[in-house]
Amino acid sequence: MTDEKTDKRILQSEFKPAAWLRHRHLQTIFPSLPWAWRKRTPLRREILELPDGDMTAIDWLEAGDSLPSTAPLLVVLHGLEGSAESSYARMMMETALERGWRPCVLHFRDCGDYRNRLPRRYHAGETGDIRYFLRTLHEQGQTGPILAVGYSLGGNILLKYLGESGRDSRLAAAGAVCVPLDLYKCAEALNTGFSKIYQHYILKRMKISVQRKFDRHTAAFDWNRAMAAENFAVFDDAVTAPLHGFDGMNDYYDKCSSAQFLKGIAQPTLIVNALDDPFMTPGVIPHQDRLSDQVSLEVSVTGGHVGFIEGGTPWRPKYYLPRRILDFLTSQL
């Protein structure tokens, strides 16, 4: 990691964990608890018809519908097997609304409480849907700035989209949190030590999602190998890659790890990653030479995976990320 005095693109985070929640696994697990974020503002569901005949869902905060089209619009991209009901997505949307922004969550295909049509789901490099959605927003009359924030896998997709689009991106600025910049290193980290608990939990959810959509007779992949997969590398090789046109796990990870796209980003972008993130290793942090001049990479010693609880009490926690990300995005408007 480079000192911020020598290169402003890599910054040391000011985040300090709450005294009652210092451990990285506690920081990671706490936001998923029922009382971690209790506010549940009503949502409005919109179906987005995609160019390939498939569909996905967008959830808007109803309270933002009265805001004009000139108001800033925030698109939230959730993480692996997440949705608009994920606590991090909710707190970001509701904090954005408090600032007078129109927030929404763009679901990845087959995520949340809806089902897509085609025999496919989503993956870490699927940038076509956000590209199409942003174009649709312009066509529907959004004249205010459009911004985006992505969490974990959603952050990887967002950074890849920005790098691919360069100056043609329709986003004014972006933020990405706890991004698996190197999919190889993240798969290895989640197959090590206590992190295997997270891997087991998420893989179980992914298999349930796959079973809901396919069976051994309709699956366009090795069903037995998929159901027997005990780590992400095997699951991605057995399911994610063949389902989405990749020649195996290596081809998928090679083409979709977002670190290789950071140099092409032309919009102001803040990435916030923690060195103690149990979903990855410090090795995912790229060298400053891989960042474009528009990218700021904030590195925190602590924070866990999409945790970053900085204070309050266990019953009324205070979160760092919504304020930090929205302050950055606001500064770019």
- pLDDT recorded at residue 2: 39
- pLDDT recorded at residue 190: 97
Q: Judge contact between 203 and 232, C-beta under 8 A.
A: yes
Query: Does the active-site annotation cover 277?
Result: yes
pLDDT, tens digit, 9 for 90 and up, residues 286-318: 999 999 999 999 999 999 999 999 999 999 999
Does the pLDDT value for residue 3 go beyond 70? no
- pLDDT recorded at residue 5: 37
Average pLDDT over residues 47-51: 97
Q: Token match 């956000």: residue?
A: 130
Does the pLDDT value for residue 37 go beyond 90? no
pLDDT-based confidence at 36, cuts 50/70/90? confident
- The secondary structure element, H or E, covering residue 10 is strand 10-12
Average pLDDT over residues 46-55: 97
Does the pLDDT value for residue 1 go beyond 60? no
- pLDDT recorded at residue 306: 97
> What tokens appear for 297 in the block?
């990479």
pLDDT, tens digit, 9 for 90 and up, residues 245-277: 999 999 999 999 999 999 999 999 999 999 999
Largest Cα–Cα separation, the chain: 59
Q: How far apart are CA 186 and CA 252, in angstroms?
A: 14
% of the chain surpassing 90 pLDDT: 92
From 152, 165, 257, 258, active-site residue: 152
CB-based contacts of 258: which residues, under 8 Å, 6+ apart? 124, 155, 156, 157, 159, 160, 163, 179, 180, 181
pLDDT, tens digit, 9 for 90 and up, residues 130-155: 999 999 999 999 999 999 999 999 99
pLDDT, tens digit, 9 for 90 and up, residues 170-188: 999 999 999 999 999 999 9
From 86, 277, 296, 300, active-site residue: 277
Domains defined along the chain, listed by start: 10-182+258-331 (3.40.50.1820), 183-256 (no CATH)
The mean pLDDT value of the chain amounts to 95
3-class secondary-structure state, position 66: coil
- pLDDT recorded at residue 38: 75
CB-based contacts of 40: which residues, under 8 Å, 6+ apart? 90
This prediction has a pTM of 0.95
Q: How far apart are CA 5 and CA 80, in angstroms?
A: 35
- pLDDT recorded at residue 7: 55
Does the pLDDT value for residue 4 go beyond 60? no
Does the pLDDT value for residue 114 go beyond 80? yes
